[in-house]
Structure 1
Amino acid sequence: MKPKYSEAFIGQARVKLLSRGERTIQSVAQELNVNYYTAKNWLKPSVTAKVVGSVAKEKRPQDWSAKEQLIALYKTYGMSGESLNAWCRENGLFAHHLTSWEGAFCTQSQSPSQTVELRAFKDEIAQLKRDLSRKEKALSEAAALLILQKKFRALWEDEAK
């Protein structure tokens, strides 16, 4: 008989249960859509030893490539409720991973390194524009001073005659 939850799901749920802070096991179990006693049983040392060995072999959600994430989103498109949770358990994921992946695919058109480079280029362009504006102002001021100097000389030359 196939277990209801994959060992990867149990491992991730256990991590979530152990790092729950002030929250109760009951609230975390409800969030995971798991029975309270099942979640409590996962915290026992005998279950912990069994799960820890297998979790190291399983792939974490952050280890999924973009292609694998897209395939997972394709397979789960249209699923909801228990069918989605069952698929997630089989693959060692939570539904919120799929939601965050979908958001990343919808909003992120560039890789983070490209975004950093783009930001650096924008900053450099802004700095160059400020420098150009400052230099144009200095140049127009110098031109105005030259014109005034010529007019002043012309005025004194007229008086000297």
Structure 2
Amino acid sequence: MGYSPERKAAVLKRMLPPNNVPVRQLSQEEGISEATLHKWRTAARGKGQLLPDAETGPEGWSSRDKFAAVLETAALNEADLAEYCRKRGLYPAQITAWRSACEQANDWDRTSTARLGLATKEEKKRIKELERDLARKDRALAETAALLVLRKKAAAIWGGDEDA
């Protein structure tokens, strides 16, 4: 059974903040299967519409929904932002925090490269220390082996006790 675009829009509007009607409840009230409602929400999200899950508060929104909210509010002044937030059950501070997170997300590559470089530098230093320690132990072992060989040769020449 096909649904009219008007009915779809009305049902999707009920999923929007501040209503935030859960899909299960909406399914029971409207007589539309949950799968269909999820499909409609996914399609609307694909078109860039902000449709967060009703079961979660704003902090439980997906990154995609938070990013959509940041984009929608990017050009708003303080009064318009406050009105936008009231309609969707948000606080301006949440939008500000999400905007900051979005800005830092694009900086991740540079900071992770810097952290990786620092870790690589520390690993190289550790490897150098371990190699120096290994070389010292190799020299000590070679010296001990040489002393044992000399001791055996001395014992063979002078007839001394080899086990001493």
TM-score normalized by the length of structure 1: 0.40
Larger radius of gyration: 2
| Higher-RCO chain (CA-CA 8 Å, sequence separation at least 6) | 1
TM-score normalized by the length of structure 2: 0.40
